[in-house]
Amino acid sequence: MGMSVLLPPGKTTDKIRATLRWAEYVPEKHETKDAKRPRDFWRRVPHGPESVDLPLERKAILTGVRLPNTAGIAIKGKLAEAEAPGLPKGTRALSLFVVNERPPGEKNKADTEFIFQVEFELSYVDGFLARPNQRDGGSPEWDERVVDLQFRDRAEYAVGHGVSVSIPKQGGRVTTARTAWVPAAEVPRVITHDDEATIIDAPPTDVQKTVRRWDLAASVPSHANPDPDFTIGVKMGRRANGRYVVLHAAMARARAGDVEDLILRTADFDGRGVPILLPQDPGQAGVAQVADLVKKLAGFVVSHERETGPKQTRALPLSSQWQHGNVEIVRGGWNADYLSQMEGAFTSRYSHDDAADASSGAFNYLSRSSEPVYESWRDQGGPFAPRRDYKNYGPDRGRW
């Protein structure tokens, strides 16, 4: 095990301090009431901290140095120049490893020569350099460039080999890096802020327009693609007070046949009074997919739309209302998965925008005042009402 760090340009007389903590196990015999002879037990013996200063010279690092007060434990590694965009000229890359050079133990006692629960720490008075990450700085994707700018102060100061690395809280320069077998970090709760989307306990009674808008995918996690996109259907409504409410979100990673089954079952759950909006991908395959779904959804109000323009442009209207606290969410078991995508899409880096696509599509559909969306078949004259009645239907003749 070990770690790698970046060091600023310096002289070969520089030194870095390596500190080790570990444990050994020694066998002991203990008498027990239910045994005729003593039984072997292993007792843990902690060691350290033991420290040693290593000169930052290539040959010395490669040769290594034995830790004091240890039997055969050494620190070895490699020191070389590092070149990468964003690094100052002369930056040095240092990799150090804990090496157990003890010979094998006696038969049936080999474990006595092993070391366990090793904690390796490096300290350098001049501070470690942050590894630059400019991957998204020149990305053609607008949102990736923005995220790269927003997280420009987040940096990686060490990389573990066979183990994780934690950076103790320090003021100013980072001068210490330490291995961690079970790393811990404070992660902000994945939920919208109180002044943005509001969680409500029950659907409001003044919803005037509703729609279930889908964003489609057809894949399941695999070795080649462990994190595929989601199929998600967002049911959204517009209230009489002008606010919007997310009533439900159906989400799954599934193959094409299971996706169709999810859409049909969700339509039955919503009832015929909730219109269904499908996205149509460009090309003949997208046209055929929508046509097949429309046939299978016979008896429901189904429409489709082509997705044109950048995704962030389509999401701006909903994002604006979301951030001004005009979006509510009905409490449910689906909230966590839905909000994790929405929070990531609007405020931080997240690899999936399926929930944002479906939600922005539903919002844009509901905000079109020229196209009423009916709450029930009775309001629009039944499933076989003439299209002219549908177009001419207004608020003076029923709900929409």
Q: Where are the domains positioned within the chain?
A: 2-180, 198-381
| 394, pLDDT greater than 60 | no
Strands (E), the chain: 2-7, 15-30, 39-55, 65-66, 73-81, 92-100, 116-123, 158-161, 164-166, 176-180, 198-200, 207-215, 231-239, 244-252, 276-280, 302-306, 327-330
Mean pLDDT of 110-118: 89
Task: Give the residue among 301, 297, 269, 295 at the shortest CA–CA distance from 372.
Answer: 301
Average pLDDT over residues 173-188: 83
Contacts of 395 (CB under 8 A, 6+ apart): none
CA 93, CA 75: separation in Å to the nearest integer? 16
* pLDDT on residue 284: 67
Phi-psi region of 335 (alpha: psi -120 to 50; beta: other; left: phi over 0): alpha
Q: Report, as an integer, the average pLDDT of 17-24.
A: 94
Work out the mean pLDDT of the chain and round it to a whole number. 81
Q: Is the pLDDT of residue 390 over 70?
A: no
pLDDT greater than 50 at residue 192: no
- Specify which residues 200 forms β-bridges with: 330
Residues ≥6 apart with Cβ < 8 Å to 130? 6, 155, 156, 157, 174
Question: 54 pairs with which residues across the strands?
Answer: 16
% residues pLDDT > 70 (the chain)? 84
Thinking of the domain 198-381, which architecture would CATH place it in?
Answer: 2-Layer Sandwich (3.30)
The percentage of residues in the chain with a pLDDT greater than 90, rounded to a whole number, is 42
pLDDT of residue 399: 29
Give the pLDDT mean for 197-222: 90
- Tens digits of residue pLDDT in 119-135: 999 999 989 998 877 66
Please give the model's pTM, rounded to 2 decimal places. Answer: 0.48
Instruction: Report how far residue 282's alpha carbon sits from residue 268's, in angstroms, rounded to the nearest whole number.
Output: 28
pLDDT tops 50 at residue 20: yes
Q: Which two tokens stand for residue 73?
A: 């434990």
Q: What mean pLDDT is predicted for residues 53-62? A: 92
DSSP bridge pairs for 238: 209, 244
Mean pLDDT computed over 161-175: 85
How far apart are the C-alpha atoms of 163 and 167, rounded to whole Å?
A: 13
Backbone angles phi, psi at 344, to 5 degrees: -65, -40
Q: Mean pLDDT over residues 303-317, rounded?
A: 80
Query: Residue 227 class from Cβ within 10 Å (0-12 exposed, 13-18 middle, 19+ buried)?
Result: exposed
Query: Can you read off the two tokens belonging to residue 255?
Result: 């193959």
